[in-house]
Structure 1
Amino acid sequence: MDTILGPLYYAVSWIIVQFHSLYSLVFDEDSGWAWGLSIVSLVVLIRICLIPLFVKQIKATRNMQALQPKMKAIQERYKSDKQRQSEEMMKLYKETGTNPLSSCLPILAQSPFFISLYQVLNHIAQGKTVGVIDEQLLASAREAHIFGAPLSVTFLSSAEKVESFGATLMDVRIVTVVMIVLMSLSQFYTQRQLMTKNVDLSVKTPFMQQQKMLMYVFPIIFAVLGINFPVGVLVYWLTTNVWTMGQQMFIIRRNPTPGSVAFKQRQERLRAKGKLKEDPAEVEARKAVEAARANRQQPKRQTKAKRQVAGTTATTDSTEQKPSLEKKQGTDAGEAKDAKGGKPGQAGGGSKSGQRKSGPQRPKHPSKK
C-alpha cells in the first residue's frame, strides 16, 4: 500500500504543509487552527478539482433514473437468460450514452486522497516522518489539538496514548462523538434532500428504493467507521460532507430534475419574476381556475337555533302540502277514470240513453204495433 500510494503521500503532505505555512502567518504554527484549517483547505482544493466529475455524476444519475423502467422491462423479459439480459443492458447504455459507473466517479476519485491523508496522520501518530513532513513539522503536528483533541488520536485510543499528547480521554471522546454525529446528520440530510426534492415522483423505479435505503445505511456506516479514524480524518470527512450538502443544495435550486418538487418550485420562482415563457392556453386556463375559485361562495354557517327553526318550518310545510297533494291525486284519478267511460252523465262519459235521445228516431214497424 505504501509503495503504491507513496507519491500520493508526498502530494497530500506537501499540500498540507503549504497551507500550514500560510495559516502560520495568522495562528501559532503548533496550534490546531493552523493544522486543522490546512486539512479543511485540502478538502476544498480536492472538491474544486472534482467539480467536473460531480457534473458527470449528476447527469449519470438522472440518466439512470430515466432508464429504470426500460431496465426493469429487460430484466423481466430475459430473467431466465442472464447473458442476454446483460447484452441488452449494455446495448441500452450504449444507445443512451449512459455509464453506470459515472455516478461513483467523485467517490472513486476522492478515495486515494482520503486513504493518503489517513496514512499521513497515522504516521504522525506513530511519530514517523512521511512525505515532506520532517522531524520539525512532525513535532508541530503532534502538538496540534482541535478543541482539546490531538489530530492523530481516535475514539478507541488508550488513555496512556492520549495523555502522551497532553490531552484527556474524555476530551477526545467528546470531540470524536460530536464530529461523528455531525457527519452522520449531514449525510442523512443530503440523501433525504435528494429523495424528497430532486426525484421525479411521477415515475416509481427501483432506483428510488435504493436511494431510500442508502439514506439510512450511510449514517450507520459513518458511525461505525468513525470511531476508528483519527480526529484529523474526521475533520476531512466532516468537511467533505458539508461541502457535498452545500453543493447539492445549489444544484437542486439552480438545475433540478424535471418533474421533481424542486423543479416545480423553480418554475414558480421564474414565473413570479416574469422570466418563464408560458403557453397562452395554459395561462388562460390557470386564470379561469383562479377566477372560479374567487367567485365561489362558501355557505354561511348557521347557529343551532336557526337550524332548528329551519327544520321545523320545512316539516310544517311538508305536512300542509301532503293533504292537498293527496286530494289533487284523487281528483286526477277520478278524471282519468271518467275519461275512460266509467260513470254515465258526466263529461266525457258516453251513455246509451243519451245517444238514443240525441240521435235520430227510427220509426216503429206497423206489424209490431
Structure 2
Amino acid sequence: MDILGFVGTILWPIRWVVEAILVAWHFVLEGLGLAPDAGVTWVLSIVLLTIIVRVALIPIFVRQIKNQRRMMEVAPQLKKIQDKYKGKKDQFSREAMSRETMALYKETGTNPLSSCLPLLIQMPVFFSLYTVLHNAQTGKIGIGLLNKSLSDSFAKAELLGAPLHETFTTATTWHVQVIAGAMIILMTASQFYTQLQLTSKNMSPETKASPMYKQQKMLLYVLPLVFLFSGLSFPLGVMFYWLASNFWTLGQQYVVIRNSPTPGSDAALAREARLAKKQQEKEARRGVSGGGLKSLTEVTVTEIETPKRVTTQRSQPVGKSRAKKQNGQAR
C-alpha cells in the first residue's frame, strides 16, 4: 500500500498535466461546435492528447532508435566474443568474456541499458494516461481540471452505441463486444506489423545472425499477445489511446526506417536504390533538355552557314557551222 502511495505521489504531476491537456482539447472541440457529452468529442480529445504526448516524446524516441542501432551494429562483434568463450564455464573464462564485452561497449560508445532507458521514461507517462482515462470513465473525480461534471460526462459518453467505460469482458451486449473485439484486433495487428517492420527491413545480415535478432523475433510474437490478452480488460476509451499510440509509432518508425535506415539492412539498400533512380532520372531529364537544345543549335547553324545549291542546266558546246545556221535563222 505504501508502494502504491509512493508511485501515486510520483505520478501526481504527470496525471495533472494529462488531465489538463484532455480537458483543454475537450474545451476546444466543444467551442468548435461538437456536443460536450458526445462520445466522438471525448474520443477526439483522447486522440489529440495522445498526439501531444507522442510529440513531446519524439526526442526520447530518436535517442532510443540511435541506441538500438548502435547495439545492432556491435551485435556481430558480441557474437564473436560469445563464440570465443562458448562452452567455457570456468570463472576465468566468464570474467574474460565480461571484460572483453565491457571493453567493446566502451570502445563503441554503446550501453545495453541505454536503449531501455527511454522506454522506462515513457512508462510513467503511459501509466498516468491509463489512470486518468480509467478514473474518468468510472466516474472518479480527477486531481486537476477533470472535475465531477466532466468525469460524469466522460463516463456516460458513447460512440456508435457503445459506452466508452465498458470493456470486452464486462460488456452487456454483443454490440459492444464486437466493437471492442475489432479494436483489440487492430491493436494487436498494428503492434505486430510495427515489430515486423523493424526486424525484416531495418536489420543488417550480421545482426540477423546474432542472438539479438532472436530476441527481437521473439518480441515480434510476444508483444502482440500481450496486447491481445490485456486488451480484453481495457475500457474502450483506453483502447482508443493505445490504438492511436500504436498507429503513431508505426508511422514514426516508417519515416525513420525510410530516411535513416540501419547500414547494410534491406531498408538501406532500398534507400540507395531510390536515390540512384532519382539521380538517373534527374540526369536523364537534364540530358534530354541539353541534347534537344544542342541539336536545334546545330541544325540552325548548319542551315545558316551551308550555302544553298543552285540547280542550273548545263549548256552544251555548239559547233561553228551550227552556230552560223542558228544565226541565219534568227535573222
1:21 shift after superposition: 0.6
1:14 touches 1:131 (CA, 8 Å); kept in 2? no
For the 8 Å contact 1:179–1:234, the answer to whether it is kept is yes
Contact kept, 8 Å, 1:53 with 1:105, in 2: the verdict is no
Determine whether 1:173 maps to 2:177. yes
Tell me the matched-pair count. 267
| Counterparts of residues 1-369 of structure 1 (less than 5 Å) | 1=4, 2-26=8-32, 27-78=34-85, 79-80=88-89, 81=91, 82-132=94-144, 133-157=146-170, 159=172, 169-203=173-207, 204-274=209-279
In the TM superposition, residue 6 of structure 1 has moved relative to its aligned partner by 2.1
**TM-score normalized by the length of structure 1:** 0.68
Distance 1:83 1:12, change over 3 A: farther
CA offset digits 1:4-34 (Å, max 9, x no partner): 3222221111110011111112311111121
Q: Return closer, same or farther for 1:66/1:207 CA change in 2, 3 Å cut-off.
A: same
Segments of 4+ moved more than 6 angstroms: none
User: What TM-score do the two structures reach when normalised by structure 2?
Assistant: 0.75
Q: Distance in 2 between matches of 1:35 and 1:202?
A: 47
Cα separation, 2, equivalents of 1:24 and 1:244? 28
Larger radius of gyration: 1
Deviation, 1:272, is: 1.6
Compute the RMSD of aligned alpha carbons: 2.0
Q: Aligned in 2, Cα 1:128/1:243: closer, same or farther, shift over 3 Å?
A: same
Secondary structure, aligned partner of 2:31: coil
Inter-partner Cα distance in structure 1 for 2:279 and 2:175: 55
| Structure 1 position 104, deviation (Å) | 2.8
Does the 8 Å CA contact 2:165/2:236 hold for their aligned counterparts? yes
Inter-partner Cα distance in structure 1 for 2:276 and 2:40: 46
Distance 1:157 1:273, change over 3 A: same
Q: 2-side partners of 1:188 and 1:214: how far apart? A: 9
